[in-house]
Amino acid sequence: MTAAVFLFWSAAVVLASGAKDTDIVILQTQSGEVEIAVELAATPESRAKGLMFRRHLGKYNGMLFLYDFDHEVQMWMKNTILPLDMIFIRRDGVVHRIEHHTQPFSEQIISSHGPVRAVLELNAGSAAAFNLQPGDKIRHPFFEAHNKAKK
């Protein structure tokens, strides 16, 4: 299966899951680019629910939490079945920090350790598998719009 066909199939799976707001993000790493089909969590309700109760998340799927302003984000894994990697992203799309292999069902607070504008959740191990590191870039229109507004 080619990468383009797989990405199309992944996006179709996201849409079939009932997600209303979906998009593509591109991870720009030292190893190259990786396209991820994401569900967007841009409202307080969608951010509060996140990936709770999900039993499956595809290899090239994730959830992108978008915030209206820069702040220290605090997440947890309450009612989240899947272990995840949490990628904390600054307003310019640069990866600020990665929390690897979060503990399912944990109520321990996971902090961004600094102001960020978004969080990308992927399956645990994905950040390492894609060679994603702090300082790498996440491409998405949300970050591009905020960079233009900042200038």
The fourth-level CATH superfamily of domain 3-150 is Protein of unknown function DUF192 (2.60.120.1140)
Using CA atoms, how far apart are residues 109 and 139, in angstroms rounded to an integer?
27
Total-model pTM: 0.85
- Reported as a single tens digit per residue, the pLDDT across 77-104 is 999 999 999 999 999 999 999 999 999 9
Using CA atoms, how far apart are residues 102 and 100, in angstroms rounded to an integer?
6
